[in-house]
Every structure is written in C-alpha cells, then in structure tokens.
A and B are shown apart, each in its own frame.
Chain A
Amino acid sequence: MLIVESLQKSFQLDDDEVCAVDNLSFEVQPGEVYGLLGPNGAGKTTTLRMILGLVKPDAGYAQVSGFRTEVDPTAVKSRLGFVSASDGVYPWLSVREMLLYFADLYGVLPNEAASRCEHLAALMGIKPLLDRRAGTLSTGQRQRVTLVRGLIHDPPVMLLDEPTRGLDVVGVQTIFEYIEHLREVGKAVVVCTHRLDEAERLCDRFGLLHHGRMQQTGTLPQLRQQSGHDHLVDMFIELLRS
C-alpha cells in the first residue's frame, strides 16, 4: 500500500518561492483506485514525482510497502509502476527489446522478464507488435506498449499521470480496462487527472487538490455530503471560486 505523509515542496521561480505541494497526506490501499484531482498547476504531478523520487520533498515522505522515500529510494522505486501521457518509446528498438530493457532497469531476471513480457502483451493485445520497431507504432499502439511497460516488474503500486490525455474514445476505453485490471489484481492505484467525469467512473476515493493543498478527500458519497453537490465538476467550480 501507499502512504503519503505531510509532503511539502516549494520551487524557486526568479525571486519568488512558489509552494507547489503543501502538507499533503493520503493513503491508498491494495485494490483501491485513488483519484488525485485538481486543475492544472494544482500540484498533482509534483506529488507523483516526489513519490517516484524524481523530486526531493522539502518535508514529509511517501511510503510504499513499508519503504520510505527518504530512507530507501531504490526500494520505493522498484515497487512503483509509472505511466504518463508524455511517455515515449525508443524508435529504433523493437517493442520486446524496449520492454525487456525496462524490466532490466527494474532488476527483473531475464527469464522472468521474458515470460512477463509475453503474458502482459497477450493481456493488452500487443503480442503481434512485440517484434515490430517501436518507431513504427501508431499512437494507440504506443499507449498500450507504455501501459505494459508500467507493469513489467509487477509493482504493488501504480501511478498514472493524466493517462487519457490526447487519446481517442478507443484509447480512453483501453485505459479504463487497464485500471480495472489493476484493481482486480490488487494494485494500489493513484490516478492524477483533471478529467473529472472520467475520474467519477474510475476511482473509489478522491482527493481534491488546489494550490498544492488537499481541499477535500473521501469517497463520492462522502464528498457529496461534504460539499452538497452531486458531481465532482460542481464541487470543483465551487472550490475554484472560494
């Protein structure tokens, strides 16, 4: 499971210090999909990057399966899967070579990596693409390869940053099915998005982020009770106006 405790991060922009994430805490249990929601610049991506160890927090920590980011970042990284809308592929490698490369980065043994590669490729319907050069794939195919890549080391926690950005209806549906699969196999999933309609369909619990602070958190019924609105969109508009 994932625990985020009092994460804090400020950036220096010219002479000003901008607080990107302010004392943020939440937990995600295995088999749960947590939606970290907020407008652009709310601090969602910075939060994910702090969990991933790409950004050093000013204070606080994230804990994955008992390992804390500031103590053992390598152990944390090896237990996290990460998929972002801006992820690319290596154009001159075959899909199989690319997936095995990432398996190697995560320390998966070569034999195990090969069988996981076959299994996940079958699951995501990219088996015929495995020996194609990645540079020749369509956007939708690349997206599915990226989703397989995120799971190649079988991490207990998955982080998805704006996973549906720039995708068509079929692509979005693939993401939905993917997240459903993650839930079924017991992964703790964090989805960062500003697509609130999609989040309502996907997530079990929500954290509403604004100006780096957690404004509200809970399940949809709990949020409805707290805010007096039925939909996340209305809750957000009120949040932005306040």
Chain B
Amino acid sequence: MPGVSLKGRLLRLCQKELKETIRDRRTIVTLVLMPLLVYPIMSMALNRFLLTNVSSDDGFTICVSSELESEILDQWLSNPLSVPPKAIADSSGGELAKFQVAVITDVPPAEAVARNDADVGMELSNIETGNPTATFFAYRGDSVSQAARRVVVERLQWLKLAEAENLLKRTLPDYRTPVLVSAEDVGSVEENSLLATIVPLVLVLMTITGAVYPAIDLTAGERERGTMEAVMASPVPRGYVLLSKYTAVVVVALLTAIANLVAMFTTLWASGLLEFLTGGDAFPWLTILQMLGLLVLFSGFFSAVLLSLTSFAKSFKEAQAYLIPVMLLSLTPAMLSLMPGITLSGALIVLPLVNIILLARDLLSGSVDPNNAFVAIVSTFAYAAAALSVAARLFGSDAVTRTSEKSIGSLLRRPREASSRPTPQAAALMLALLVPVYFLVSNGLMRFIKTSEDLNVSFALLLNAIALIFTFGLIPALAAWMGRNRFKTTFRIQPSGLLSFIGAILLGLGAWAFAHEAFLLADAIGIGGLSDQQIASAEASVTKMRESSALLLIACFALTPAVIEEFCFRGYLFSAIRGAATPLRTILITAFLFGLFHVLTGKALLVERFVPSTLMGLIIGWVAYRTRSVFPGIVIHFVHNGLLMLVLYYQDQLSFLGEGFDDQMHLPPLWLAAASALVMTGTLLIWVSSRNQPPGKSENKSDQQQADTRVT
C-alpha cells in the first residue's frame, strides 16, 4: 500500500471507532445523563445523611416548653461545676460541647425532638418543691441526638458530684479526693480528608462505567453486527484495529470520568458539601488536577483489561456475563481505600488495581511516596500492556470460525508450530510477569539480607545471582518455551567472529568511562545523583563485599548479570521487538527497558542508574544488531561490570592512580582520551567484523527467505 501513511491510517481508524461509539445513544446515556442525574441525587442523600449525623458548629439544641425551664437549664449548664474535670474533657477530645436552649411551646419536648426541631428535649417536674426531676428525650437511632443527651446528662452528673464534694470538703476539712486523674495522647493521627478516602472508589466506578459499554460494543458488538469478518479479511494489521479500539475505549472512559468529575464537584460545591469533604475553604484545584492524572492511569488500565475480556466473547450477552464479575471484583480493592490501616507498601505496590487505588488515596491526602508511586505506575502500565497483548491474541480470532478456535484456555496452550522469535505481544506478557516478580524477589532478598546481620557475604552474593537467574533468566526462557520459540533464534545464539569479540572487550574496557560521565551529567541536570547517605551506604557495601573473594564477586556481579541480562534484553526482547520495529527503534526500546530495570532495584529507586545503564544498553544494542549475536554483548557487559567490580575491590591498592575513582568527580582528560580510543577501536572492529554481513538483511533472514519464494 504505497503512499499511505501508517500513522495517518491509525488516526483515521481511531476517529472511526470514536465516531461510532460517541454517536451511539447508549454512550450518551452514560456520558451525559448519568452524571447529570446521579450526582444531584447523591448529594441530596449525602446532605440528609450529614444533617442527621453531624452536629453543627452552634452545638446541640435542647428544647424545653417554658421560660422557667429554660432559665433553670441555662443556670445548670453555665455553672462551672457542671464542667467535667480536665482529664475527662481531654479524653473526650478536649472541647466542651456547646448547648443552645430553645423554648418550644406548640408541642411537648418529646414531640419536638421527634420532628427534628431539637437534638434533645427536657421536661422538668417538681420545680416548686426545690428538688426538680429532669427528664431528657433523645431520638432512638439518631447518633447526634443520643450523644447530645449523653453529654447533657453527664454535665448534670458532674454538677451533682462537684456540689457533693464541695459539701464534703466544707464539713470534713481533711477530706481529700481519692485520686487525681490526667489524660494524654500518643502517636499521630492519619490526616486523610474524606475526599481522599472516597475518591479512589469513585474513580473506579467512573472509569468502569465509561469503559464497559464501548469495550463490549467495539469487540463483541462488532461480531454480533457481522462486521468483524470483513475487517479481519482486510490487510490492515490486527494490532492497528485493536489499538484504534483501545484508544476509543480509553477516550470514552476518560470523557465519562471527566463528565462525572465535573458534575460531582459542581454538585458538591453548589450544595456546600465540598468544604466539609475537603476539610478546607479553598476550591481543590490541585486535587482536581491530580484526579485527572489518576483518571488517565485508571482508564488506561481498565480499558485494556475490559478489552482483553470482551475479546473472548462472541456476543454482547456473553461479554456482559464476563464483565459483571470483574466490576464487582474491582469494587473490593476499591473499598481498601476506606481502610486506614492499609498502606501502599510491600507486595501491595505491585498488586494490580490495589496499587493504584492506594496510590490515589495517598496522592490526594498528600502522603505519597514517590518510589512506591513510580513502581505502582510502571507495573500498572505493564499489566495494561499484558492485557492488551492477550486481547491482540484473541481479537478477531472468532471471525475465523463461528465455533471459535481460541478460548481462554488457548492462551495457556503452546502453539503447534515452532516460530523463530516471540511476538511483541508475548514480550509484553513476559514483561508484565517480570516486573512484579523481579520487584518482589529483589525486595524480599534485600529485606532478608538486612535482617540477617550475621549472614555470610559470599552467601548473600550467591543469593543475588540466583535471584537474577530466577527472574531475568527463567522468565524469558519460560516465555520462549510457552510460545514454542526456537531458542537459537529467540535468544540470538549465533556464533560471532574473533574480531567482534576483541572489539567487544575494548568497548567494555572503554565504555565505563562514558557511563561514569553520563552519570555525572544526569546528576548535573537533576536526574538522580547520590546523597551523602547513599554514598556512605555504598561504601559500607563495598567494604563488606571485600570480605568475599574477588572471584566470587566477579562471578555474581559481572558474569551472571552479563549472561542472564543479555539473554533477556539483547536476546528475547531484542528479537521480539525486532519483528515489529526498525533496528533503531529496537535498540532504543531495549536500551530504555534495560535502563528502567536497573532503576527498579529493591525498595529505593536507583534513579541515578537510569542514564548510564541506558547508555550501556544503546552501545550493547548496536553491537547486538551489527553482530546478530548475543555473545559480543555478553562480553561487553562482563568486561564493564568486571572492571568496575575489580576497581572497587582493589580501590585501596589502586590509590596511586589518583582521584579518578571518586564517584562524584569527572575523569581526568587523559583517562577520557584513553577510553575514547578504546571505544573507537572497539566500534571499528565490530563494524569491520560485521561488514560482510549487512545486519539489516540477515537479521530478517526468515522474512527474506519468504520474500524469495514469492512467485512472480
């Protein structure tokens, strides 16, 4: 299809999906009518709830039926002796409840309370005897009314007690109060505004409401209308059609959520509830902006999940049957935001949906931990990508036969035929598994090492290497096995010439200097950098590592990462992405992922590692592309890591070389010149060694072979 821009086509496909969805009157109902109707009704209900459950600033109202009763009650309540001792007041919040006495003559006090004219009613009898009896009325089941009665009764009890005590002291001068009581609080209160607590729940409801209908209509609905087969018969890539549908679902979910947000805040503001919910006077613009950001995250996640589920369905009805349990299940983690004890920490950081709900709560209450937030966002995007890759595998497959060839079970089945490389969708699934597993394993390992003080350093190093093998080694291998991808081509196990290995060694020897300079440059522009505490901690780690042998250190920190990470990044991921992207994009994407995973180590995000690691990823990616093999990259990685480890290990012995090893200083020009010479020679050797095998053609050998078989 020459002359047709793919981006332009994708844009037009998105426009069509959006037009189709937004014109549908069912979308209009969820997009416009629901927010217009639901929030005013909800605010009325909330208002009523608050009116009956929260006392006003003016305090409680007590009604009586005569001026005399009013005077007597005023005297009692204004008598300082009716004020409880400070300890009692402190243990009840410190503030004395206010009371207003109202005279209501048209109905008895009990009836006035029943019709909500007052919180409490009082009737006095036997006034003339000088020994009156007070009866207080409260409304059964009304917590405010009950509380008001409890307080006023207590105040009168304190009055009686204080007068009795005074009398005792007057008659018995030696009388002493048996015990003096005081009250104090410890700890701190979690300052969560009501808005921060309920908004995550509302966000879930908003985005699901918006995404459900278009997700069903654009997949199962398309099947039911009989348009799916015609679309699948066209030459447009299936991924394009799915991506345009995903865009439409995200946009509609966002629009619905924004419409809900506007309606909700407008209604709350108009009804005067906003101040109560936010706990302040100012209109919460920042909160609204934060919520918009969160909505993008929620919409992206839910749209992908819903599309993956509706891709299974053959009809609208079947899709609804899949989605209803998901909606109900989604509300369960949403309720977590209402529970004060649960925080965004530990495994919850990578638990789908729970992590972004807790993140929303923390963000809105201003107590978000940036490290945890970053991991939660990255893992959520990984889950969304995985859900989309599931959808891509299933989407349109039912157009193939009326009795679908694919089902939920087919996802777990290995394909019949072997393939030379994984698909980008399979790579997305692999990454979605790798992110949380790696996070949990690295975190768990760090905690274990930290808590086991007498742990042998060599054992800790070995554990580190084993963790790496289980995550970056085993997960891609498992993914390749599941996808029946040929290991040789998937992991790019190709022999490479001697010249390329010599070039790789030189690159490895020289590249660290540029990685170091990149680290300093990143520090200068504010990406990362090490704090004094981090430097001290790193130095302590290096000192501890010296307790182990240099050989073990090289094996665990140079050889294992070099082999395992290269097979993962320049093997599995490189071949998967190369199937759908140009060499340049493949190098850029794998380098970015390589940098990103070096940041996600343990609890603290090592942001300072991003730039140097990505730079190394770019260099090794280029070498992997030129040589078509994973092995030269392993050599560069090994030499680079090994060199750094040896320098750290023998730092004291190498002090005669000067201050070049200081983490925070630029390298001497001579060093940089030597490193440049090494890098240039290495690059030249790699280029010469692969000159006779243009990588662009040989990389896609299978495609080339296929093209050659075309009959013309």
Partner pick for A67 among B9, B236, B710, CB 8 A cutoff = B710
A84 within 8 A of B: yes
Complex contact A77–B225 (CB within 8 A): no
- The answer, among A66, A71, A87, for a CB contact under 8 Å with B226, is A87
B23 on interface, CB distance cutoff 8 Å: yes
A54 touches B399 (CB 8 A): yes
| Chain A residues closer than 8 Å to B16, beta-carbon distance | 93, 97, 101, 104
> Interface 1/0s, chain B 214-246, versus A by CB < 8 A?
000000000001110111111110000000000
Which residues of chain A are near B23, meaning CB under 8 Å? 92-93
| Contact B710–A54 (Cβ < 8 Å) | no
The reply on A174 being an interface residue by CB < 8 A is: no
Is A109 a contact of B3 with CB atoms below 8 Å?
yes
Q: For the complex, give the distance between the alpha carbons of A21 and B522 in Å.
A: 63
Instruction: Look across to chain A and name the residue whose beta carbon is closest to the beta carbon of B237.
Output: A74
A102 at the interface (CB under 8 A from B): yes
Q: Which of B24, B234, B706, B711 contacts A105 (CB 8 A)?
A: B234
A72 at the B interface (CB under 8 A):
yes
For the complex, give the distance between the alpha carbons of A229 and B24 in Å.
55
- Could you tell me the distance in whole angstroms from the C-beta of B316 to the nearest C-beta in chain A? 13
Known: A67-B710, A71-B706, A88-B225. A93 touches B233 (CB 8 A): no
Within the complex, what minimum Cβ distance (angstroms) separates A71 from chain B? 5
Residue of A nearest to B709 (CB): A71
Which A residues are in CB contact (< 8 Å) with B707?
A: 71-72
Complex alpha-carbon distance, A84 and B401, angstroms: 14
A39 at the interface (CB under 8 A from B): no
Asked if A104 and B706 sit within 8 Å, CB to CB, the answer is no
Asked whether A107 lies within 8 Å of B230 as measured between CB atoms, the reply is no
Docked Cα-Cα span, A77 to B1, in Å, equals 11
In the assembled complex, the Cα of A157 lies from the Cα of B372 at a distance in Å of: 57
The listed residue (B9, B229, B234) touching A77 by CB distance below 8 A is B234
Which of A11, A68, A101 makes the CB contact (< 8 A) with B709?
A68
Are the CB atoms of A72 and B706 closer together than 8 Å? yes
Q: How far is the CA of A75 from the CA of B401 in the complex (A)?
A: 22
| A39 CA to B20 CA, complexed, in Å | 38
Q: Are B235 and A77 in contact (CB under 8 A)?
A: yes
A86 at interface by CB-CB < 8 Å: yes
Complex formed: what's the CA distance from A97 to B24 in Å? 15
Residue A49, interface by CB 8 Å: yes
Contact A80 B233 (CB under 8 A): yes
Bound: A68/B709 CA distance, A: 9
Once the chains are docked, how many angstroms separate the CA of A109 from the CA of B227? 22
Asked, given contacts A71-B710, A105-B234, whether A92 binds B225 with beta carbons under 8 Å apart, the answer is no
Q: CA A49 – CA B396 in complex, angstroms? A: 13
Known A66-B710, A101-B16, A107-B4; judge A90-B227 contact (CB<8 A): yes
Asked if B229 and A97 sit within 8 Å, CB to CB, the answer is no
Cβ A53 vs Cβ B711 within 8 A: no
| Chain B contact residue count (CB 8 A cutoff) | 33
Q: How far is the CA of A108 from the CA of B234 in the complex (A)?
A: 12
Closest-by-CB residue of A relative to B1 is A107
**Would you call A66 and B9 a contact (CB within 8 A)?**
no
Q: Are A84 and B229 in contact (CB under 8 A)?
A: yes
Q: Is the CB of A107 within 8 A of B9?
A: yes
* A-contacting residues, B1-40, CB 8 Å: 1, 3-4, 9, 12-13, 16, 19-21, 23-24
In the assembled complex, which residues on chain A have CB atoms less than 8 Å from the CB atom of B12?
Answer: 101, 104
Q: Which residues of B contact A52 (CB under 8 A)?
A: 233
Report if B712 contacts A (CB, 8 A).
yes
Interface size of A by CB at 8 A reads: 39
CB pair A87 B229 closer than 8 Å: yes
Report the Cα distance A209→B233, complex, angstroms.
23
Are A89 and B20 closer than 8 Å at their CB atoms? no
User: Which of chain B's residues has its CB closest to A86's CB?
Assistant: B226
Per a CB cutoff under 8 Å, which of A68, A72, A82, A88 touches B227?
Answer: A88
Closest to A74 in B: B235
The smallest C-beta distance from B388 to any residue of chain A, in angstroms, reads 20
Task: Say yes or no for A233: interface residue by CB 8 A criterion.
Answer: no
Which residue of B is nearest A67, CB measured? B710
Interface centre among B13, B229, B405 (most CB of A within 10 A): B229
**Whole-angstrom distance between the alpha carbons of A207 and B446 in the complex?**
71
Residues of A within 8 A of B710 (CB): 66-68, 71-72
Inter-chain CA distance A103–B401, complex, in Å, is: 24
Q: In the assembled complex, how far is the CB of residue B418 from the closest CB belonging to chain A, in whole angstroms?
A: 14
Contacts of B4 in A (CB 8 A): 107-109
Contact B235 A54 (CB under 8 A): no
- For A78, A97, A105, A108, the residue with the greatest tally of chain B CB atoms inside 10 Å of its CB is A105
Residues on the B chain within 8 Å of A122, using CB: none
A17 to B266, CA, bound (A): 63
Q: Specify which chain A residues have a CB less than 8 angstroms from the CB of B232 in the assembled complex.
A: 54
B400 & A78 in contact (Cβ 8 Å cutoff): no
User: Is A11 a contact of B229 with CB atoms below 8 Å?
Assistant: no
Contacts of A66 in B (CB 8 A): 710-712
Of the residues B225, B230, B706, contact of A82 by C-beta under 8 Å: B230
Chain A residues near B231 (CB-CB < 8 A): 105
Contact with B along A108-128 (1 / 0, CB 8 A): 110000000000000000000
Q: How far is the CB of A99 from chain B (nearest CB, A)?
A: 11
B residues in contact with A71, CB < 8 Å: 706-707, 709-710
- Is B235's CB under 8 angstroms from A107's CB? yes
- Residues in A neighbouring B401, C-beta threshold 8 A: 11, 46, 49, 55
Question: Are A87 and B706 in contact, CB atoms less than 8 angstroms apart?
Answer: no
Bound complex: CA A49 to CA B397 (Å):
12
Question: Which residue from chain B places its CB closest to the CB of A77 in the assembled complex?
Answer: B235
CA distance A74 to B240 in the complex (A): 13
How many Å lie between the Cα of A87 and that of B399 in the bound state? 11
Asked whether, in the complex, the Cβ of A93 is within 8 Å of the Cβ of B706, the reply is: no
Known: A54-B232, A77-B233, A80-B233. A90 touches B1 (CB 8 A): no
Contact A53 B227 (CB under 8 A): no
Tell me the minimal C-beta distance from A79 to chain B in angstroms.
9
Note all chain B residues with C-beta closer than 8 A to A84.
226, 229-230
Task: Return the chain B residue nearest A88 by Cβ.
Answer: B226
A149 within 8 A of B: yes
Q: Verify A90–B225 contact, CB threshold 8 A.
A: yes
Q: Which residue of A lies closest to B4 (CB)?
A: A107
- Known A-B contacts A55-B400, A84-B229, A86-B226; the reply to A92 vs B24 at CB < 8 A is yes
Flag if A104 contacts B225 (CB, 8 Å).
no
Pair A105/B20 contact, Cβ less than 8 Å: no
Chain B residues whose CB sits within 8 angstroms of the CB of A63 once the complex forms: 711
CB distance from B97 to the nearest CB of A (A): 60
Q: What are 27 of the A-B contact pairs (CB < 8 Å)?
A: A11-B405, A46-B401, A53-B233, A55-B400, A66-B710, A66-B711, A67-B710, A71-B707, A71-B709, A71-B710, A73-B235, A75-B235, A77-B235, A88-B225, A89-B227, A92-B19, A93-B23, A101-B12, A102-B230, A105-B13, A105-B231, A105-B234, A105-B235, A106-B1, A106-B234, A107-B1, A107-B9
Known: A54-B229, A104-B236. 4 other contacts (CB 8 A): A73-B235, A87-B229, A87-B230, A105-B231
The 5 closest A-B pairs by CB, nearest first: A107-B1, A88-B226, A105-B234, A88-B225, A77-B235
